[in-house]
Structure 1
């Protein structure tokens, strides 16, 4: 469906990952070996928290309906700024039209959200899902994607206080509505979420055959494994990235996030928690 990456750590020029990595996000927009679609050319988005921003800072966004590989502004931007936390997303549209308001990531206050996947049968449950969004949040929905509605549903259900719990409640709401309409597997995908300090990366689908998701291992460990890899010195000791598929071919550089799991990454490192296991 799409490809995405999320970075957290010492301030970094985003072009290092978005443009310059062996299998950069722009390279994946042209050729995505692990994706459901090989080409992801239906627009892109880039969101970042500026260097020096404080808790609660609002991230900046740049969206375009151009293919990522064709947009000179993306290169200018990602080579000119540094950021301690940023999202990048290349889109393969699955139905909603190609327009800027449908490009990820989405933003509300200091929160960013992006999704790779789909809500199956969205048109049949869209009315009920949208009406489940809090009245005060509803005007902020600008596009027509299932992903944006899912984000605002999670906000309605307490995302700002309990990110993992709220995402779980939102997904269960989608599944309940979908199954009432005879949809066997309503939810598919991987989700990135951040408040500017912590990064949450979810891998979940109703069918338990979710889109791929990986995160990097600790940079100090990687430097020990590959002392001759000069490119690793571009990153600080707390740098970490979550990706739809690995950005390089170094064995052991990326860890696959298990099915039905949320990876939580912050200054202390990363850990995994089970997410919406059967029976919950």
Structure 2
């Protein structure tokens, strides 16, 4: 019972971050399931089954708050579903010993990208309002869907920063559209896992616990997306993903590092993570103050 409550809280926390940042539900939940001994394919399948409900609830909430661009949802969601099915059937064919470190490397790479991208650059706003083309969203969806299935998460970490980097869609609509289109990815990915695995290794009580937590958090996150600075959340989530998957890799058969090696590495990660958070907060405040000064000057001139 305690484990189910913990999973529900993880689902709630992961969805709060995912719904307000456009990423991290899958990688956060999958990382926890791997840490308690679930096989990689079963962990990813469990998370994606839960995501069918959480992404539906999140999409509805974002739509009600006006955070969804339906053209973007269609252009990226359909290729994403194709990539997700391919990734699910690929991961289902790998052995646990092979898949776990492979998945950890993938998640670690995503974590490094998220931390670097949001800490260093924040959220670009150039080209805002220009249309997003199929030739950009199609391949992006295909790759993000494949990564999402094989990594247990990745739809948001790949899709959200790429669209934000284009500067063509405002942040809240980027996050809302990515979260809404993820419903297609989760649905098709789950079918792929069930096709490849059956129900082997999937604990449906865990699915329900993650689902309950995620559904509760979905409307709150859709509201918070207007209030919480994505730059700071990006740095925070990136650090969590990096730390957790570095730990998994260092303990894997690939490396099997001793305590004398692991703990100094953890210390360095904590230090870099703390510095990234401090920098993100300071940059966010500096940019906010600059915008306020610009608005004040504009009003004064008027």
Structure 1 and Structure 2 fold alike (TM over 0.5) = no
Instruction: Give the number of the structure with larger relative contact order, counting CA–CA contacts within 8 Å between residues 6 or more apart.
Output: 2
- Give the strand-richer structure, 1 or 2: 1
TM-score using structure 2 length: 0.30
| The structure with more helix, counted as a fraction of residues | 2
Tell me the TM-score normalised to structure 1 length: 0.32
Max Rg structure? 2
